[in-house]
Amino acid sequence: MASSEAKSPTAYFDGEFRPLADAKVSVMTHAFLYGTATFEGIRAYWNAEQGELYALKLNEHLERLRASSKILMMDPLPEVAELRKIVVELLQRNGFREDVYVRPSVYKSTEAIGVRLHELKNSFYVIAIPFGNYIDVDNGIRCATVATRRTADLAIPARAKVVGNYVNSAFSKSEAMLNGHDEAIVLTEAGKVSEGSAENLFLLRGDTLISPGMNDDILEGITRAAVIEIARELGIKVVERSIDRSELYIGDELFLCGTGAQISPVVEVDHRSIGGGGIGPVTKRIQERYFAAVHGRVPEYSHWLTPIYGAKKGGA
């Protein structure tokens, strides 16, 4: 296998594998003009001891991509098995020996002026690039609740990863960062806690881990589901319910999670320390278990992983 540093990256675009530099769209593309696209962010983790790259929850991400495409009135995508083969082959062709971010996307590729979803051509691409930490997972982050509200389901549904909706995330993130914080916590129009700018949220109170429910305009997070699975394995009670902003201030622990964020402990919200102001023991246990699992070191979680080079040799 070639090192990822020894050649230019390969992308899947217009039905074939080609150099990433050649994967281009026109400025007239509908998705570029209006944000009419959907995507998934998928991590693949390198395990140097095993010489293996593990794609995390690949099927779940591709199933969600198909669901988002349906919401956006896109023609049915190929089945998950076919999409999975494309992603696996792309990673094999690139020969990565480091952690990677994979982004498959479906976009309205018709070159046209005019706002609509119907009667437009859809196209599919996949890119993959080396990727480290998106947020500080080691020292804890400082958050602020922001004035920007999460878009409601009747506006742009958060359960679909609509590219245009991430302008809402950008407003939130910049508002927080330009005011001296690391990350935003976004509220619903009703004033309940929704999530981070692009992460789900968990609050610990006593012995119970709490996460906003699906009716709080959250993304139906795949990492969120993984956290719930780990927490229950560790004997931690998990409840999904609405959270008031002030409840964040009196929580014992708080963390954000997502493909990019992974498990990111929060040590401060709105200038108020969370718990003792450091990374809490429950968050640390979940974080350690998660990172061990995604790197292929916990056999109980092997069902989360697709071994990329093992697949090339005929493995699972």
Reduced to 3 states (helix: H, G, I; strand: E, B; else coil), residue 288 is helix
- Beta carbons of 106 and 69 less than 8 angstroms apart: yes
Structure tokens at 174: 């910049």
* Catalytic annotation present for 161: yes
Amino acid identity at 2 = A
Bridge partners, residue 39, by sequence = 105
Q: Which residues pair with 143 in a beta bridge?
A: 183, 269
Distance CA 52, CA 309 (A): 6
- What b-and-e string marks burial along 200-219, b requiring 16 or more CB atoms within 10 Å of the CB? bbbbbeeeebbbbeeebbbb
Tokens 């994967």 belong to residue: 23
Active-site option among 57, 108, 161, 192: 161
Beta bridge partners of 266: 141
Q: What six digits make up the tokens of 80?
A: 């998950």
Using CB atoms within 10 Å of the CB of residue 278, give its burial: 0 to 12 exposed, 13 to 18 middle, 19+ buried: middle
β-partners of residue 270 are none
Judge contact between 54 and 307, C-beta under 8 A. Answer: yes
Query: In the chain, helix, strand, coil percent, each to 5?
Result: 30, 30, 40
Cβ distance 181 to 197 under 8 Å? no
What SS3 class is residue 178?
Answer: helix
C-alpha torsion angle, residues 132, 269, 140, 168 (rounded to 10): 0
| Alpha helices, H only, the chain | 30-34, 58-71, 80-94, 166-178, 222-233, 245-249, 281-294, 308-312
Q: Which residues are catalytic?
A: 161
